[in-house]
Amino acid sequence: MSVYLDYNATTPVDVKVQEIICSVIKNVWGNPSSSYDLGKKAKSIVETARKKVAEMIGSLPGEILFTSGGTESNNMVISTAIQYFHTKARNVTNGLKEEKPHIITTNIEHDSVKLPLEKLFEEGKADVTFVPVSKITGAVEIDDIINSIRPNTCLITVMLANNETGIIQPVSTLRSKLKSIKDSKFHGEHSLNSILLHTDAAQAIGKIEVDVQDLDVDYLTVVGHKFYGPRIGALYFKNSAPLFPIFYGGGQERNYRPGTENTCMIAGLGKAAELVSSNLKEYNKHMTAMSCHLKECLETTFPKHCIFHIKDNNNKLPNTVSVALDYDKVTGSVLLSEAKKICASTGAACHSGGKPSSILIASGISCELASKTLRLSVGRETTEKEIETAVAYLDTALKNLGIK
């Protein structure tokens, strides 16, 4: 029996989501831009899904834009910030005529944020500050972000929860902190209201409550396949926030994101959002219980060799266990190669090559322990039996490697 413990990489599509996707494919295949009944039905399905995604995160339907996924949403925000600086902020801010836009982020962001920013910096199109997270808590310090603000700062982007450590970042305090220093930071040289705030909530949605009113951000990234939906996404953008397209075409999605709507997948995303809205407390409770059981089984089976990187009192996701099995000459990748029936990872699914995770090292984990780390993430339907089986597989793998 294979055991899947990599729900931070992707989740299966919920059966109810599958059903609505298949139904729309079969019965409502018209173009949502068409004026006849089949097109109007497709348009109605798109708008219903928009409302459901909005309800899930506490926004207005008109603040939801459907995209292909998290990478597109994140790139769109970054592109918008650059254009906003050049077309708007310079016109109302003193002394920035010759400045490049400045963006602040952290050193634990997903590659879909990190790499575009590195590219902009390399090309001389933007200044970028990568604020390091605390090596004690794994979370960024808000004061470190505030101290990085410059007169030409146009965007702050901080993920809501890290996909490897599970640490929840203090995004909700950013806006209030900006407002509290509004009149003192640059003595009128910079309008802090012009600093755009973005969070990538890919790992948080479906595990903890995510409300854009509480977070008070301008943009929030939604990724369907992280909460049992299809592999498309959405971008929340506050009514008052600027948004510039990165594609140009037929005018769909109010000209922000042209291209004929993927009606069936949008319907699936809406259903996945509806399930989160209705069942989040239950999901959270189950994942918390299963991750606790996982930790107990690991501690019992590998006493004195089991090192958990994130303490229970840290603000973290309910489903994520980052653990090093500290045995000589055994890395996490070697262990998983031997324990072939466990679907798990040593870090982010988009990384490979066997190197220790840069995210873990940035979060204060030694290079040696990072190389021995497993990222184990449970899901909505993970069972105690599956967890016990997975730990037994790890134990057998170590014995086969001659370690135990």
Which residues are paired to 197 by β-bridges? 156
Judge whether 367 counts as a catalytic residue.
no
Q: What is the spatial distance between Cα 2 and Cα 307, in angstroms, rounded to a whole number?
A: 24
CA atoms within 13 A on the CB side of 114: 13
| Marked catalytic residue, from 297, 306, 343, 350 | 350
SS3 20: helix
Q: What is the spatial distance between Cα 156 and Cα 189, in angstroms, rounded to a whole number?
A: 18
Q: What is the spatial distance between Cα 108 and Cα 67, in angstroms, rounded to a whole number?
A: 24
Q: What is the spatial distance between Cα 191 and Cα 181, in angstroms, rounded to a whole number?
A: 11
Residues of 24-60 as b/e, b for ≥16 C-beta within 10 angstroms?
A: beeebebebeeeeeebebbbebbeebbbbbbbbbbbe
The CA distances from residue 260 to 24, 117, 271, 345, in Å, are 15, 29, 20, 36
Beta strands, E only, 87-193: 102-106, 127-131, 153-157
* Residue 145 tokens, joined: 């972000």
For residues 71 and 112, the answer to whether their CB atoms sit within 8 Å is: yes
State the CB neighbour count (10 A cutoff) for residue 146.
18
Helix 263-301 to helix 384-400 angle (10° resolution) is 60
For residues 148 and 104, the answer to whether their CB atoms sit within 8 Å is: yes
Q: Which one, of 349, 179, 204, 168, lies nearest residue 280 by Cα?
A: 204
Task: Mark out the alpha helices in 199-308 (DSSP H runs).
Answer: 212-215, 263-301
SS3 219: strand
- Given the structure tokens 């989040």, which residue do they identify? 280
Taking phi first (over 0 means left), then psi (-120 to 50 degrees means alpha), and beta for anything else, what does residue 73 get?
Answer: alpha
Q: What are the catalytic residues?
A: 350
